[in-house]
Amino acid sequence: MLLPEIPSLREPRAYLLVTANRLMINLNRRHKVEEETLLSMSALIADQSCQDVAHIAAIRQLLERTLLMLIEELDERSRQAFMMARVDGMTYAEIAQVMNVSESRVKQYLVKALAYCHQRFYRIKADWHA
């Protein structure tokens, strides 16, 4: 894609506009790459034909890292609950105690985190504010 030439710095406002434009384009591209990566990973996961242990372990590790990245996009409470449950291996009751909320509230946080990851992976548009 051809980008417009950058005007000289004697016109700072125009320069800024062009730069911002480029940033936006890059951002859009980045999102697209990200979405495609997630989608191809979901295809990789669905392919259960490979029984090689090393290969399966590699996919799992990749998936684990991706999930922990996606979790970063969540709100603080859901992220905290997810990390405690899956990284620290705490029970729902233990998490409830640490977060000082009820166990059913903990489950709500976890459901939210998990559903969010699922939607990101399978490119399903979420509507959390509905």
Partner 1 sequence: MPETADSDISSLSEQAAQWAICLSENQVSNEQRADFEAWLAQDPRHPIAFEQVNYLWQSVIPRKRQSYAGIKTFASIAVLLGGLYGLPLSEWLADERTGIGEVRRITLADGSWITLDSDSAADIVFDQQQRRIILQRGRLLAEVAPDSMQIPRPFVVENRDGHAKALGTRYIVEQTRHDSIVDVIESQVAVASRARPGESITLQAGQSIRLDSQRLHPPEASTSFAASWVDARLVYQDAPLSQVISDLARYRKGFLKINEEAGQLRFTGVLPADNPEAALSILENALPIRIKQHSQWFVWIDSQS
Helical spans, DSSP H, in 12-126: 12-46, 53-71, 76-82, 92-99, 103-121
Q: Does 67 bind partner 1 (CB under 8 A)?
A: yes
Residue closer to partner 1 by CB (options 12, 122) is: 122
CB 83 within 8 Å of CB 65? no
Among 2, 8, 53, 76, binds partner 1 (CB under 8 A): 53
Q: Does 122 bind partner 1 (CB under 8 A)?
A: yes
Q: Does 35 bind partner 1 (CB under 8 A)?
A: no
Q: Is 76 left (phi over 0), alpha (psi -120 to 50) or beta?
A: alpha
Least distance in Å: CB of 109 to partner 1? 10
- Buried residues in 101-115 as b, exposed as e (16+ CB within 10 A): eeeebbeebbebbbe
Q: Does 96 bind partner 1 (CB under 8 A)?
A: no
Q: Is 91 left (phi over 0), alpha (psi -120 to 50) or beta?
A: beta
Least distance in Å: CB of 54 to partner 1? 9
The residue ranges that bind partner 1 (CB under 8 A) are 42, 45, 53, 56-57, 60, 63-64, 67-68, 84-92, 94, 107, 110-112, 114-115, 117-119, 121-122, 124-128, 130
